[in-house]
Structure 1
Amino acid sequence: MTRSRLGAIALTSAALLGAALASPALATTDSEIPTFQQFHADTYKDADQQYIVNGDEPVSTTGDLRAYYDRMIEGAEEAAEEGMTANLVVNTVGGADDKWSTSQVGNLTYCVSTKFGTRYNDVVAAMAAGAQLWEDASSAIDYVHVPSQDASCTTRNRSVVFSVEPVQTSQYIARAFFPSSPKRSRNVLVDDSIWTAGSWTPANIMGHELGHTLGFRHEHTRPESGTCFEDNNWRPLTPYDSASIMHYPQCNGTSNNLSMTDTDRQGAAALYGA
Protein backbone atom coordinates (compact mmCIF):
# COMPACT_ATOMS: atom_id res chain seq x y z
CA MET A 1 0.00 0.00 0.00
CA THR A 2 1.58 3.27 -1.15
CA ARG A 3 1.11 6.62 0.56
CA SER A 4 2.27 10.03 -0.67
CA ARG A 5 2.69 12.93 1.77
CA LEU A 6 2.19 16.68 1.56
CA GLY A 7 4.18 18.70 4.09
CA ALA A 8 2.87 18.00 7.58
CA ILE A 9 -0.42 16.67 6.20
CA ALA A 10 -0.93 13.03 5.22
CA LEU A 11 -2.19 12.51 1.67
CA THR A 12 -3.41 8.96 1.17
CA SER A 13 -2.88 7.81 -2.41
CA ALA A 14 -3.78 4.19 -1.83
CA ALA A 15 -6.94 3.15 -0.03
CA LEU A 16 -7.06 3.00 3.73
CA LEU A 17 -10.26 0.97 3.75
CA GLY A 18 -8.38 -2.19 2.91
CA ALA A 19 -7.14 -5.29 4.63
CA ALA A 20 -4.15 -3.44 6.13
CA LEU A 21 -5.39 -0.77 8.49
CA ALA A 22 -2.20 0.92 9.64
CA SER A 23 -2.35 4.63 10.41
CA PRO A 24 -0.66 6.74 7.71
CA ALA A 25 2.60 8.38 8.73
CA LEU A 26 2.86 12.16 8.72
CA ALA A 27 5.61 13.87 6.79
CA THR A 28 7.65 16.49 8.59
CA THR A 29 9.57 18.32 5.88
CA ASP A 30 8.75 20.00 2.58
CA SER A 31 11.28 17.73 0.89
CA GLU A 32 8.79 14.89 1.33
CA ILE A 33 6.17 16.62 -0.82
CA PRO A 34 5.91 14.54 -4.01
CA THR A 35 5.75 16.05 -7.47
CA PHE A 36 2.51 15.48 -9.33
CA GLN A 37 4.32 12.94 -11.50
CA GLN A 38 5.32 10.98 -8.39
CA PHE A 39 1.85 11.26 -6.90
CA HIS A 40 0.26 10.17 -10.19
CA ALA A 41 2.56 7.14 -10.42
CA ASP A 42 1.83 6.11 -6.82
CA THR A 43 -1.95 6.52 -6.89
CA TYR A 44 -3.86 3.25 -7.17
CA LYS A 45 -6.05 2.74 -10.24
CA ASP A 46 -8.93 0.32 -9.76
CA ALA A 47 -10.82 -2.09 -12.01
CA ASP A 48 -12.82 0.77 -13.55
CA GLN A 49 -9.56 2.61 -14.36
CA GLN A 50 -10.35 5.31 -11.84
CA TYR A 51 -7.83 6.74 -9.41
CA ILE A 52 -8.64 6.07 -5.74
CA VAL A 53 -7.93 8.86 -3.25
CA ASN A 54 -8.88 9.39 0.39
CA GLY A 55 -9.23 5.66 0.87
CA ASP A 56 -12.39 4.94 -1.09
CA GLU A 57 -13.20 7.92 -3.34
CA PRO A 58 -12.76 7.65 -7.13
CA VAL A 59 -11.26 10.32 -9.40
CA SER A 60 -12.05 9.75 -13.06
CA THR A 61 -9.33 11.39 -15.17
CA THR A 62 -5.71 12.47 -14.94
CA GLY A 63 -6.90 16.06 -15.20
CA ASP A 64 -9.22 15.57 -12.23
CA LEU A 65 -6.37 13.95 -10.30
CA ARG A 66 -4.17 16.96 -11.02
CA ALA A 67 -6.90 19.29 -9.74
CA TYR A 68 -7.18 17.15 -6.60
CA TYR A 69 -3.39 17.29 -6.10
CA ASP A 70 -3.36 21.08 -6.49
CA ARG A 71 -6.19 21.43 -3.94
CA MET A 72 -4.27 19.24 -1.53
CA ILE A 73 -1.15 21.40 -1.82
CA GLU A 74 -3.16 24.59 -1.28
CA GLY A 75 -5.25 23.09 1.52
CA ALA A 76 -2.23 21.70 3.35
CA GLU A 77 -0.54 25.10 3.29
CA GLU A 78 -3.66 26.86 4.58
CA ALA A 79 -4.17 24.32 7.36
CA ALA A 80 -0.55 24.43 8.47
CA GLU A 81 -0.04 28.20 8.26
CA GLU A 82 -3.41 29.66 9.20
CA GLY A 83 -5.27 26.89 11.00
CA MET A 84 -8.80 25.80 10.14
CA THR A 85 -11.93 26.49 12.14
CA ALA A 86 -15.19 24.68 11.51
CA ASN A 87 -17.62 22.39 13.16
CA LEU A 88 -21.34 14.68 9.43
CA VAL A 89 -19.57 17.24 6.47
CA VAL A 90 -20.90 17.52 2.94
CA ASN A 91 -18.70 17.61 -0.15
CA THR A 92 -18.76 20.82 -2.15
CA VAL A 93 -18.19 21.42 -5.86
CA GLY A 94 -17.56 24.98 -6.95
CA GLY A 95 -18.70 26.15 -3.53
CA ALA A 96 -22.10 24.41 -3.77
CA ASP A 97 -23.25 21.37 -1.79
CA ASP A 98 -22.72 18.11 -3.66
CA LYS A 99 -26.16 16.60 -3.07
CA TRP A 100 -29.15 15.07 -4.83
CA SER A 101 -32.33 17.01 -5.48
CA THR A 102 -35.41 16.14 -3.42
CA SER A 103 -36.86 14.03 -6.23
CA GLN A 104 -33.57 12.26 -6.91
CA VAL A 105 -32.74 11.35 -3.30
CA GLY A 106 -36.21 9.84 -2.95
CA ASN A 107 -35.57 7.36 -5.73
CA LEU A 108 -31.95 6.19 -5.63
CA THR A 109 -32.35 3.06 -7.69
CA TYR A 110 -29.59 0.47 -7.84
CA CYS A 111 -28.84 -3.03 -9.03
CA VAL A 112 -26.70 -5.72 -7.40
CA SER A 113 -24.64 -7.73 -9.87
CA THR A 114 -25.35 -11.44 -10.11
CA LYS A 115 -21.58 -11.80 -10.58
CA PHE A 116 -21.34 -11.87 -6.79
CA GLY A 117 -22.34 -15.52 -7.21
CA THR A 118 -22.92 -17.30 -3.92
CA ARG A 119 -22.49 -14.00 -2.08
CA TYR A 120 -25.25 -12.26 -4.07
CA ASN A 121 -27.91 -12.55 -1.36
CA ASP A 122 -25.40 -11.44 1.27
CA VAL A 123 -24.60 -8.29 -0.71
CA VAL A 124 -28.31 -7.59 -1.24
CA ALA A 125 -28.85 -7.85 2.51
CA ALA A 126 -25.81 -5.68 3.36
CA MET A 127 -26.93 -2.99 0.92
CA ALA A 128 -30.44 -2.97 2.33
CA ALA A 129 -29.14 -2.70 5.90
CA GLY A 130 -26.64 0.04 5.01
CA ALA A 131 -29.31 1.99 3.14
CA GLN A 132 -31.72 1.67 6.06
CA LEU A 133 -29.28 3.53 8.30
CA TRP A 134 -29.63 6.66 6.16
CA GLU A 135 -33.31 6.17 5.37
CA ASP A 136 -34.05 6.10 9.11
CA ALA A 137 -32.16 9.40 9.47
CA SER A 138 -34.17 11.25 6.80
CA SER A 139 -37.53 10.31 5.35
CA ALA A 140 -36.48 12.05 2.13
CA ILE A 141 -33.84 9.38 1.43
CA ASP A 142 -34.96 6.19 -0.32
CA TYR A 143 -32.68 3.59 -1.88
CA VAL A 144 -34.55 1.24 -4.22
CA HIS A 145 -33.13 -2.11 -5.29
CA VAL A 146 -34.28 -3.10 -8.80
CA PRO A 147 -33.70 -6.89 -9.04
CA SER A 148 -34.80 -7.01 -12.68
CA GLN A 149 -31.59 -5.14 -13.59
CA ASP A 150 -29.20 -7.36 -11.62
CA ALA A 151 -28.24 -9.57 -14.57
CA SER A 152 -26.96 -6.50 -16.45
CA CYS A 153 -25.65 -4.56 -13.49
CA THR A 154 -22.93 -2.19 -14.72
CA THR A 155 -22.47 1.56 -14.96
CA ARG A 156 -23.81 1.33 -18.51
CA ASN A 157 -27.24 0.32 -17.23
CA ARG A 158 -29.39 3.44 -17.58
CA SER A 159 -32.35 1.87 -15.79
CA VAL A 160 -30.77 2.48 -12.39
CA VAL A 161 -28.93 5.38 -10.78
CA PHE A 162 -25.98 3.20 -9.77
CA SER A 163 -24.67 -0.34 -9.76
CA VAL A 164 -23.16 -2.53 -7.04
CA GLU A 165 -20.43 -4.74 -8.49
CA PRO A 166 -17.73 -7.15 -7.29
CA VAL A 167 -14.04 -6.33 -7.54
CA GLN A 168 -10.86 -8.15 -6.63
CA THR A 169 -8.33 -5.87 -4.98
CA SER A 170 -6.14 -5.63 -1.92
CA GLN A 171 -6.40 -1.83 -1.93
CA TYR A 172 -9.82 -1.34 -0.33
CA ILE A 173 -12.81 -3.20 1.05
CA ALA A 174 -15.29 -1.07 -0.90
CA ARG A 175 -15.49 2.26 -2.64
CA ALA A 176 -18.31 4.49 -3.85
CA PHE A 177 -18.97 7.87 -5.54
CA PHE A 178 -20.47 11.32 -4.95
CA PRO A 179 -23.75 12.71 -6.34
CA SER A 180 -21.77 14.88 -8.77
CA SER A 181 -20.03 11.84 -10.28
CA PRO A 182 -20.89 11.14 -13.93
CA LYS A 183 -22.96 8.03 -14.69
CA ARG A 184 -19.88 6.11 -15.86
CA SER A 185 -18.46 6.45 -12.33
CA ARG A 186 -21.59 5.68 -10.34
CA ASN A 187 -20.93 2.29 -8.87
CA VAL A 188 -20.15 0.76 -5.51
CA LEU A 189 -17.34 -1.77 -5.86
CA VAL A 190 -17.08 -4.46 -3.19
CA ASP A 191 -14.15 -6.77 -2.47
CA ASP A 192 -14.49 -10.18 -0.78
CA SER A 193 -12.61 -8.79 2.24
CA ILE A 194 -15.90 -7.23 3.32
CA TRP A 195 -16.77 -10.60 4.84
CA THR A 196 -13.62 -10.78 6.96
CA ALA A 197 -13.34 -7.19 8.18
CA GLY A 198 -13.60 -8.02 11.87
CA SER A 199 -15.74 -5.58 13.84
CA TRP A 200 -16.60 -3.69 10.66
CA THR A 201 -19.86 -5.38 9.66
CA PRO A 202 -20.87 -5.54 5.97
CA ALA A 203 -23.93 -3.42 6.81
CA ASN A 204 -21.83 -0.65 8.39
CA ILE A 205 -19.24 -0.76 5.60
CA MET A 206 -22.05 -0.34 3.09
CA GLY A 207 -23.50 2.41 5.26
CA HIS A 208 -20.16 4.24 5.10
CA GLU A 209 -19.99 3.91 1.32
CA LEU A 210 -23.61 4.97 0.87
CA GLY A 211 -22.78 8.02 2.95
CA HIS A 212 -20.47 9.05 0.12
CA THR A 213 -23.23 8.47 -2.44
CA LEU A 214 -25.30 11.03 -0.50
CA GLY A 215 -22.46 13.57 -0.63
CA PHE A 216 -20.90 13.07 2.80
CA ARG A 217 -17.13 13.34 3.15
CA HIS A 218 -14.80 11.61 5.58
CA GLU A 219 -15.22 13.18 9.00
CA HIS A 220 -11.47 12.99 9.62
CA THR A 221 -10.75 15.67 7.02
CA ARG A 222 -11.65 18.17 9.77
CA PRO A 223 -8.81 19.82 11.67
CA GLU A 224 -10.06 18.35 14.96
CA SER A 225 -8.97 14.91 13.80
CA GLY A 226 -5.34 15.97 13.73
CA THR A 227 -4.47 13.59 10.89
CA CYS A 228 -5.65 12.18 7.54
CA PHE A 229 -6.44 15.67 6.15
CA GLU A 230 -7.91 15.48 2.64
CA ASP A 231 -8.93 18.93 1.37
CA ASN A 232 -11.08 21.97 2.16
CA ASN A 233 -13.93 21.26 -0.27
CA TRP A 234 -16.63 20.62 2.31
CA ARG A 235 -19.20 22.37 4.46
CA PRO A 236 -19.85 21.45 8.10
CA LEU A 237 -23.31 20.18 8.98
CA THR A 238 -22.76 19.19 12.62
CA PRO A 239 -20.11 19.50 15.30
CA TYR A 240 -17.08 17.22 14.86
CA ASP A 241 -17.86 13.57 15.62
CA SER A 242 -14.85 11.28 16.08
CA ALA A 243 -17.20 8.26 16.27
CA SER A 244 -18.98 9.06 12.97
CA ILE A 245 -19.68 6.30 10.48
CA MET A 246 -17.73 8.51 8.05
CA HIS A 247 -14.62 8.63 10.27
CA TYR A 248 -11.86 6.05 9.74
CA PRO A 249 -10.99 4.45 13.11
CA GLN A 250 -7.29 4.55 12.16
CA CYS A 251 -7.48 8.33 11.70
CA ASN A 252 -7.93 9.10 15.40
CA GLY A 253 -11.51 7.85 15.31
CA THR A 254 -13.14 6.66 18.51
CA SER A 255 -15.40 3.96 17.07
CA ASN A 256 -14.00 0.59 16.03
CA ASN A 257 -17.04 -0.66 14.12
CA LEU A 258 -18.16 2.17 11.76
CA SER A 259 -21.56 2.33 13.42
CA MET A 260 -23.87 5.28 12.78
CA THR A 261 -24.18 7.95 15.47
CA ASP A 262 -26.88 10.43 16.43
CA THR A 263 -24.68 13.16 14.96
CA ASP A 264 -24.60 11.31 11.63
CA ARG A 265 -28.36 11.19 11.65
CA GLN A 266 -28.52 14.89 12.46
CA GLY A 267 -26.22 15.64 9.52
CA ALA A 268 -28.38 13.67 7.11
CA ALA A 269 -31.47 15.47 8.35
CA ALA A 270 -29.71 18.83 8.03
CA LEU A 271 -28.85 18.18 4.39
CA TYR A 272 -31.96 16.37 3.18
CA GLY A 273 -34.60 17.13 5.81
CA ALA A 274 -35.84 15.09 8.75
Structure 2
Amino acid sequence: MRLTRKFALAATAAVAFTVGTVIPAAGAATPDDNTDVPSYQEFAASTYRDVDGSYIVNGDEVLSNQSQLRTFYEKMVGPETPLDGLIVNTVNGADDRWSDAQVGDLTYCVSTAFGARHDDVVNAMASGAALWEAASSKIDFVYVSSADGNCTTRNKSVLFSVEPVQTSQYIARAFFPSTADRQQNVLIDDSIWSSGAWTPTNILGHELGHVLGFRHEHTRPESGTCFEDNNWRPLTPYDSSSIMHYPQCNGTSDDLSMTSTDVTGVVSLYGS
Protein backbone atom coordinates (compact mmCIF):
# COMPACT_ATOMS: atom_id res chain seq x y z
CA MET A 1 0.00 0.00 0.00
CA ARG A 2 2.77 2.42 -0.93
CA LEU A 3 1.62 5.72 -2.39
CA THR A 4 5.21 6.64 -3.23
CA ARG A 5 6.11 3.54 -5.23
CA LYS A 6 5.58 3.68 -9.00
CA PHE A 7 5.91 1.19 -11.79
CA ALA A 8 6.38 2.36 -15.38
CA LEU A 9 5.24 0.14 -18.24
CA ALA A 10 3.00 1.65 -20.86
CA ALA A 11 -0.14 3.00 -19.19
CA THR A 12 0.51 2.00 -15.57
CA ALA A 13 -0.24 3.36 -12.12
CA ALA A 14 1.10 2.95 -8.60
CA VAL A 15 -1.60 1.53 -6.40
CA ALA A 16 -2.18 1.06 -2.72
CA PHE A 17 -1.04 -2.15 -1.04
CA THR A 18 1.11 -3.25 -3.99
CA VAL A 19 2.69 -2.04 -7.15
CA GLY A 20 0.14 -2.79 -9.86
CA THR A 21 0.16 -2.54 -13.62
CA VAL A 22 -3.09 -1.06 -14.91
CA ILE A 23 -3.83 -1.56 -18.60
CA PRO A 24 -6.37 0.77 -20.24
CA ALA A 25 -9.52 -0.79 -21.64
CA ALA A 26 -9.98 -1.01 -25.36
CA GLY A 27 -11.17 2.35 -26.67
CA ALA A 28 -9.75 4.26 -23.71
CA ALA A 29 -7.72 7.33 -24.61
CA THR A 30 -3.95 6.95 -24.35
CA PRO A 31 -1.14 9.28 -25.44
CA ASP A 32 -0.46 7.16 -28.53
CA ASP A 33 -3.86 5.83 -29.57
CA ASN A 34 -3.49 2.74 -27.35
CA THR A 35 -0.09 1.85 -28.79
CA ASP A 36 1.16 2.08 -25.21
CA VAL A 37 -0.75 -1.06 -24.22
CA PRO A 38 1.97 -3.63 -23.47
CA SER A 39 2.10 -7.00 -25.17
CA TYR A 40 1.27 -10.03 -23.06
CA GLN A 41 4.98 -10.90 -22.91
CA GLU A 42 5.82 -7.43 -21.61
CA PHE A 43 2.98 -7.57 -19.12
CA ALA A 44 3.95 -11.03 -17.84
CA ALA A 45 7.61 -10.05 -17.51
CA SER A 46 6.66 -6.99 -15.46
CA THR A 47 4.14 -8.68 -13.15
CA TYR A 48 5.39 -9.32 -9.64
CA ARG A 49 5.68 -12.97 -8.57
CA ASP A 50 5.16 -13.47 -4.85
CA VAL A 51 6.99 -15.74 -2.44
CA ASP A 52 4.59 -18.63 -3.20
CA GLY A 53 4.93 -18.28 -6.97
CA SER A 54 1.58 -16.54 -7.47
CA TYR A 55 1.21 -13.46 -9.64
CA ILE A 56 0.07 -10.24 -7.93
CA VAL A 57 -2.15 -7.98 -10.04
CA ASN A 58 -4.44 -5.00 -9.44
CA GLY A 59 -2.46 -4.04 -6.40
CA ASP A 60 -3.13 -6.93 -4.03
CA GLU A 61 -5.00 -9.66 -5.92
CA VAL A 62 -3.65 -13.17 -6.48
CA LEU A 63 -3.51 -15.22 -9.69
CA SER A 64 -2.30 -18.76 -9.20
CA ASN A 65 -0.59 -19.55 -12.51
CA GLN A 66 0.36 -18.39 -16.01
CA SER A 67 -2.92 -19.57 -17.51
CA GLN A 68 -4.87 -17.31 -15.15
CA LEU A 69 -2.45 -14.46 -15.88
CA ARG A 70 -3.01 -14.81 -19.63
CA THR A 71 -6.80 -14.86 -19.17
CA PHE A 72 -6.54 -11.81 -16.91
CA TYR A 73 -4.50 -9.92 -19.52
CA GLU A 74 -6.87 -10.74 -22.37
CA LYS A 75 -9.90 -9.61 -20.40
CA MET A 76 -8.15 -6.39 -19.37
CA VAL A 77 -7.55 -5.34 -22.95
CA GLY A 78 -11.03 -6.44 -24.04
CA PRO A 79 -14.21 -4.32 -24.22
CA GLU A 80 -14.74 -1.80 -21.46
CA THR A 81 -17.19 -2.53 -18.66
CA PRO A 82 -20.57 -0.77 -18.99
CA LEU A 83 -21.22 2.16 -16.69
CA ASP A 84 -23.41 0.28 -14.48
CA GLY A 85 -21.00 -0.37 -7.24
CA LEU A 86 -19.23 -2.24 -3.69
CA ILE A 87 -18.62 -4.75 -6.51
CA VAL A 88 -18.18 -8.51 -6.36
CA ASN A 89 -15.63 -10.49 -8.32
CA THR A 90 -17.04 -12.87 -10.91
CA VAL A 91 -15.69 -16.11 -12.36
CA ASN A 92 -17.22 -17.21 -15.65
CA GLY A 93 -20.10 -14.83 -14.99
CA ALA A 94 -20.91 -16.19 -11.52
CA ASP A 95 -20.41 -14.31 -8.24
CA ASP A 96 -17.17 -15.28 -6.52
CA ARG A 97 -18.56 -15.66 -3.00
CA TRP A 98 -18.70 -18.08 -0.09
CA SER A 99 -21.79 -20.16 0.51
CA ASP A 100 -24.03 -19.18 3.41
CA ALA A 101 -22.53 -21.98 5.50
CA GLN A 102 -18.92 -21.11 4.62
CA VAL A 103 -19.17 -17.38 5.26
CA GLY A 104 -20.27 -18.09 8.83
CA ASP A 105 -17.11 -20.07 9.58
CA LEU A 106 -14.12 -18.32 7.97
CA THR A 107 -11.40 -19.81 10.15
CA TYR A 108 -7.84 -18.49 10.22
CA CYS A 109 -4.62 -18.64 12.20
CA VAL A 110 -1.91 -16.02 12.79
CA SER A 111 1.63 -17.30 12.45
CA THR A 112 3.92 -17.15 15.47
CA ALA A 113 6.61 -16.09 12.96
CA PHE A 114 5.36 -12.53 13.51
CA GLY A 115 7.36 -12.70 16.75
CA ALA A 116 6.92 -9.66 18.96
CA ARG A 117 4.23 -8.36 16.59
CA HIS A 118 2.07 -11.49 16.86
CA ASP A 119 -0.46 -10.05 19.29
CA ASP A 120 -0.62 -6.83 17.28
CA VAL A 121 -1.52 -8.81 14.16
CA VAL A 122 -4.10 -10.83 16.08
CA ASN A 123 -5.75 -7.61 17.25
CA ALA A 124 -5.60 -5.94 13.83
CA MET A 125 -7.12 -8.99 12.16
CA ALA A 126 -9.92 -9.08 14.74
CA SER A 127 -10.73 -5.40 14.29
CA GLY A 128 -10.51 -5.61 10.50
CA ALA A 129 -12.83 -8.63 10.50
CA ALA A 130 -15.23 -6.82 12.85
CA LEU A 131 -15.89 -4.20 10.16
CA TRP A 132 -17.48 -6.85 7.94
CA GLU A 133 -19.07 -8.80 10.77
CA ALA A 134 -20.84 -5.64 11.95
CA ALA A 135 -22.21 -5.15 8.44
CA SER A 136 -23.69 -8.64 8.16
CA SER A 137 -24.56 -11.08 10.92
CA LYS A 138 -23.99 -13.89 8.40
CA ILE A 139 -20.23 -13.22 8.29
CA ASP A 140 -17.98 -14.68 10.97
CA PHE A 141 -14.18 -14.70 10.83
CA VAL A 142 -13.06 -17.24 13.43
CA TYR A 143 -9.55 -17.00 14.89
CA VAL A 144 -8.12 -20.45 15.75
CA SER A 145 -5.16 -19.73 18.01
CA SER A 146 -4.30 -23.42 18.43
CA ALA A 147 -3.13 -23.45 14.78
CA ASP A 148 -0.73 -20.51 15.16
CA GLY A 149 2.36 -22.68 15.66
CA ASN A 150 1.83 -24.34 12.28
CA CYS A 151 0.11 -21.50 10.47
CA THR A 152 0.60 -22.11 6.74
CA THR A 153 -1.70 -22.89 3.81
CA ARG A 154 -0.88 -26.57 4.38
CA ASN A 155 -2.67 -26.54 7.74
CA LYS A 156 -6.12 -27.78 6.82
CA SER A 157 -7.56 -27.15 10.28
CA VAL A 158 -8.19 -23.55 9.16
CA LEU A 159 -9.48 -21.98 5.96
CA PHE A 160 -6.60 -19.54 5.61
CA SER A 161 -3.37 -18.49 7.21
CA VAL A 162 -2.05 -15.05 8.13
CA GLU A 163 1.71 -14.94 7.65
CA PRO A 164 4.55 -12.39 7.62
CA VAL A 165 6.41 -11.52 4.44
CA GLN A 166 9.33 -9.25 3.64
CA THR A 167 8.74 -7.37 0.43
CA SER A 168 8.94 -3.89 -1.03
CA GLN A 169 6.07 -4.73 -3.39
CA TYR A 170 3.12 -4.41 -1.03
CA ILE A 171 1.98 -3.88 2.52
CA ALA A 172 -0.55 -6.70 2.51
CA ARG A 173 -2.29 -9.02 0.08
CA ALA A 174 -5.08 -11.56 0.30
CA PHE A 175 -7.17 -13.81 -1.98
CA PHE A 176 -10.64 -14.41 -3.41
CA PRO A 177 -12.96 -17.32 -2.55
CA SER A 178 -12.04 -18.88 -5.90
CA THR A 179 -8.28 -18.70 -5.29
CA ALA A 180 -6.46 -22.04 -5.16
CA ASP A 181 -6.17 -23.49 -1.64
CA ARG A 182 -2.38 -23.26 -1.65
CA GLN A 183 -2.61 -19.47 -1.99
CA GLN A 184 -5.43 -18.80 0.44
CA ASN A 185 -3.47 -16.66 2.83
CA VAL A 186 -3.09 -13.09 3.99
CA LEU A 187 0.52 -11.93 3.78
CA ILE A 188 1.60 -8.87 5.76
CA ASP A 189 4.76 -6.80 5.42
CA ASP A 190 6.13 -4.96 8.46
CA SER A 191 5.37 -1.63 6.76
CA ILE A 192 1.77 -2.07 7.89
CA TRP A 193 2.81 -0.45 11.17
CA SER A 194 4.05 2.75 9.51
CA SER A 195 1.37 3.59 6.95
CA GLY A 196 0.09 6.84 8.38
CA ALA A 197 -3.67 7.37 8.12
CA TRP A 198 -4.07 3.83 6.79
CA THR A 199 -4.40 1.97 10.05
CA PRO A 200 -3.67 -1.77 10.32
CA THR A 201 -7.38 -2.27 11.03
CA ASN A 202 -8.48 -0.63 7.79
CA ILE A 203 -5.67 -2.17 5.72
CA LEU A 204 -6.66 -5.64 6.88
CA GLY A 205 -10.32 -4.71 6.55
CA HIS A 206 -9.62 -3.98 2.88
CA GLU A 207 -7.81 -7.30 2.47
CA LEU A 208 -10.60 -9.23 4.16
CA GLY A 209 -12.96 -7.53 1.72
CA HIS A 210 -11.10 -9.42 -1.01
CA VAL A 211 -11.42 -12.62 1.03
CA LEU A 212 -15.19 -12.09 0.94
CA GLY A 213 -15.08 -11.64 -2.83
CA PHE A 214 -15.16 -7.86 -3.17
CA ARG A 215 -13.18 -6.12 -5.91
CA HIS A 216 -11.43 -2.78 -6.03
CA GLU A 217 -14.10 -0.12 -6.45
CA HIS A 218 -11.85 1.99 -8.66
CA THR A 219 -11.97 -0.51 -11.53
CA ARG A 220 -15.42 0.94 -12.32
CA PRO A 221 -15.47 3.45 -15.19
CA GLU A 222 -16.75 6.20 -12.88
CA SER A 223 -13.32 6.32 -11.24
CA GLY A 224 -11.78 7.52 -14.48
CA THR A 225 -8.49 5.76 -13.80
CA CYS A 226 -6.89 2.53 -12.55
CA PHE A 227 -9.07 0.27 -14.71
CA GLU A 228 -8.33 -3.38 -13.92
CA ASP A 229 -10.71 -5.71 -15.75
CA ASN A 230 -14.37 -6.49 -16.44
CA ASN A 231 -14.82 -9.47 -14.13
CA TRP A 232 -17.23 -8.02 -11.60
CA ARG A 233 -20.88 -7.27 -10.87
CA PRO A 234 -22.08 -4.05 -9.21
CA LEU A 235 -23.84 -4.34 -5.87
CA THR A 236 -24.32 -0.63 -5.08
CA PRO A 237 -23.89 2.72 -6.80
CA TYR A 238 -20.26 3.79 -7.29
CA ASP A 239 -18.62 4.80 -4.00
CA SER A 240 -15.41 6.81 -4.28
CA SER A 241 -14.98 6.59 -0.48
CA SER A 242 -15.30 2.80 -0.29
CA ILE A 243 -12.89 0.79 1.83
CA MET A 244 -12.19 -1.06 -1.43
CA HIS A 245 -11.18 2.11 -3.35
CA TYR A 246 -7.51 3.12 -3.54
CA PRO A 247 -7.21 6.79 -2.46
CA GLN A 248 -4.76 7.57 -5.26
CA CYS A 249 -7.16 6.26 -7.92
CA ASN A 250 -9.45 9.29 -7.56
CA GLY A 251 -10.70 8.04 -4.21
CA THR A 252 -12.20 10.53 -1.79
CA SER A 253 -11.23 8.83 1.49
CA ASP A 254 -7.69 9.05 2.81
CA ASP A 255 -8.02 6.42 5.55
CA LEU A 256 -9.75 3.40 3.94
CA SER A 257 -12.62 3.45 6.38
CA MET A 258 -15.81 1.50 5.69
CA THR A 259 -18.80 3.45 4.38
CA SER A 260 -22.55 3.00 4.62
CA THR A 261 -22.53 2.08 0.92
CA ASP A 262 -20.03 -0.69 1.68
CA VAL A 263 -22.45 -2.02 4.28
CA THR A 264 -25.26 -1.96 1.72
CA GLY A 265 -23.10 -3.98 -0.68
CA VAL A 266 -22.24 -6.58 1.95
CA VAL A 267 -25.89 -7.05 2.81
CA SER A 268 -26.76 -7.33 -0.87
CA LEU A 269 -24.34 -10.22 -1.32
CA TYR A 270 -24.52 -12.05 2.01
CA GLY A 271 -27.62 -10.76 3.80
CA SER A 272 -28.05 -8.63 6.92
TM-score higher than 0.5: yes
User: 2:230 matched to which residue of 1?
Assistant: 232
TM-score w.r.t. structure 1 length?
0.91
Give the TM-score taking structure 2 as reference length. Answer: 0.91
Counterpart residue number, 2:216: 218
Q: Secondary structure at the match of 1:31?
A: coil
Question: What is the distance in 1 between the residues matched to 2:182 and 2:100?
Answer: 22
Q: Tell me by how many angstroms 1:87 deviates.
A: 4.5
What's the counterpart of residue 65 of structure 1?
69
Q: 1:198, CA displacement in angstroms?
A: 0.4
Residue 37 (1) aligns with residue 41 (2):
yes
Q: Once superposed, what is the RMSD of the aligned Cα atoms?
A: 2.0
Give 1:16 deviation, angstroms: 3.6
Deviations 1:81-131 (A, max 9, x none): xx7221410000010000000000000000000000000000000000000
Q: Which residue is 2:111 aligned to? A: 113
One-letter code of the match for 1:38? E
Q: How does 1:68-83 map to 2 (within 5 A)?
A: 68-74=72-78, 78-79=79-80
Q: Which digits, 9 at most, give the CA deviation of each residue in 1:174-229, with x for residues without a partner?
A: 00000011110100000001000000000000000000000000000111000000
Paired position in structure 1 for 2:3: none
1:25-78 deviation digits (Å, cap 9, x = unpaired): 98422221111111111111111111110000011111110110000110xxx2
Aligned-pair identity (%): 63
Cα distance in 2, alignment partners of residues 84 and 101 from structure 1: 28
What is the rounded CA distance, in whole Å, between the counterparts of 1:268 and 1:87 in structure 2? 11
SS in 1 for 2:207: helix
Matched, 1:248 2:246: yes
What's the secondary structure of 1:154's corresponding residue? coil
- Structure 1, unaligned stretches of length 5 or more? none
1:266 aligns with 2:264: yes
Question: Could you tell me whether the CA contact under 8 Å between 1:15 and 1:52 is conserved in 2?
Answer: no
Q: Distance in 2 between matches of 1:244 and 1:87?
A: 10
Kindly provide the amino acid, as one letter, of the partner of residue 188 in structure 1.
Answer: V
| CA deviation vs aligned residue, 1:125-152 (integer Å, no higher than 9, x gap) | 0000000000000000000000000010
Q: For the residues of structure 2 that align with 1:3 and 1:90, how far apart are their CA atoms?
A: 28
Alpha-carbon distance change, 161 to 227 in structure 1, aligned in 2, over 3 angstroms: same
Residues 43-192 of structure 1 mapped to structure 2, 5 A cutoff: 43-74=47-78, 78-79=79-80, 84-192=82-190
Partners of 1:54 and 1:60 lie apart in 2 by: 14
One-letter code of the match for 1:130?
G
Taking a change above 3 Å as real, the CA distance of residues 3 and 213 of structure 1, as seen in their structure-2 partners, is farther
- 8 Å contact 1:130–1:210 — kept in the other structure? yes
Distance in 1 separating the partners of 2:74 and 2:23: 20
Distance 1:129 1:254, change over 3 A: same
Is 2:55–2:62's contact at 8 Å kept on the other side of the alignment?
yes
CA–CA separation in structure 2 for the residues paired with 1:121 and 1:36? 42
Equivalence map 1:11-30=2 (5 Å) = 16-18=16-18, 27-29=30-32, 30=34
SS of the equivalent of 1:32 reads coil
Separation in 1, partners of 2:99, 2:145 = 24
Q: How many residues align?
A: 261
The 8 Å contact of residues 16 and 171 in structure 1, kept in 2 or not, is answered as: no
Q: 1:192 and 1:165 mapped to 2: Cα distance?
A: 11
Gaps of 5+ in 2: 1-5
